[in-house]
Amino acid sequence: MNKRILIADDDPHIRDVISFALEKAGMQVTQAEEGRQALETFRSQSADLIVLDINMPELDGLEVCREIRKFSDVPILFLSSRDDEIDRILGLEIGGDDYVTKPFSPRELVARINVILKRTQPSRPPATETQPGILQYGKLNILPEQHAASWNNQPLSLTATEFAMLQMFTRQPTRVFSRDSIMNSAYDGNVYVSDRTIDSHIRHIRQKFADIGCENVIETVHGVGYKLATCQ
């Protein structure tokens, strides 16, 4: 099936250039003129990836991304007319997958989109509730209501924070989580912890899995954050 791409940019020329390049590459394209329309379009028509301009009026691309991340882990590639490092970092930290600065090569943009789609294509079915109240991904089983987790039928002893992190990763197994997004999901309220604290929790989770035979449960995505890995 052809991949479906949503393009959101307030410049019609940019939208047309991207649409032409993507359609030539065999993809289906939907366009949105601004942020609110992009949100409404994505809610009514699913997409495999969103090309999202940061500098749109009214509702900018960063805010659109924040709203989308509340209910979807669809890959997002940001466009911007500014080459500010802070924009790139912020875009990736709130859930973006890549960042391209205008002007850009349409051929390079298509190549980047193909790389993202390939990287985010799950190698196995996503986590599903195989039975009521049981979240499963490969050999990993989580019972949220019982606050219990196991791998390959071996129980895991996790702290409340470690359990919250593992459940977050399992519900979106192909998503790369920044440290900020991990902090927001795993800690109640407006609690701030350092990057070192997040890294320490990740090390503890890895060690507990390693102790029962799973040597690679959480992958490090350098410069971005962490994602769930596949335990064989």
User: The tokens 């949220």 sit on which residue?
Assistant: 144
Tell me: the pLDDT tens digits for 128-179?
444 556 788 888 889 888 888 999 889 998 887 888 889 889 888 888 888 8
What tokens were used for 95? 């859930």
Q: Report the chain's mean pLDDT, rounded to a whole number.
A: 83
d(CA 216, CA 58): 43
| Domain spans of the chain, in order of start | 4-120, 128-228
Q: Is the pLDDT higher at 59 or at 130?
A: 59
Q: Could you write out the DSSP letters of every residue in 68-86?
A: HTTT----EEEEES---HH
Percent of the chain with pLDDT over 90: 28
The 10 Å CB-count burial string (b at 16+, else e) for 116-152 is: bbeebeeeeeebeeeeeeebebbebbbebeeeebebe
Tell me: the pLDDT tens digits for 20-39?
999 999 999 999 999 999 99
Percent of the chain with pLDDT over 70: 84
d(CA 194, CA 99): 25
Residue 223 has pLDDT above 90, yes or no: no
* Helical packing angle, 195-211 and 179-186, nearest 10°: 80
Residue 230 has pLDDT above 90, yes or no: no
Q: Is the pLDDT higher at 174 or at 230?
A: 174
Q: Which CATH architecture has domain 4-120?
A: 3-Layer(aba) Sandwich (3.40)
Query: Between vectors from CA 171 to CA 167 and to CA 177, what angle results, nearest 5°?
Result: 80
**Mean pLDDT across 64-82:** 85
d(CA 68, CA 204): 30
| Per CATH, domain 128-228 is 1.10.10.10 | yes
> Cβ distance 78 to 54 under 8 Å?
yes
**Mean pLDDT across 42-60:** 88
pLDDT score at 124: 44
pLDDT score at 11: 93
What tokens were used for 178? 């920044």
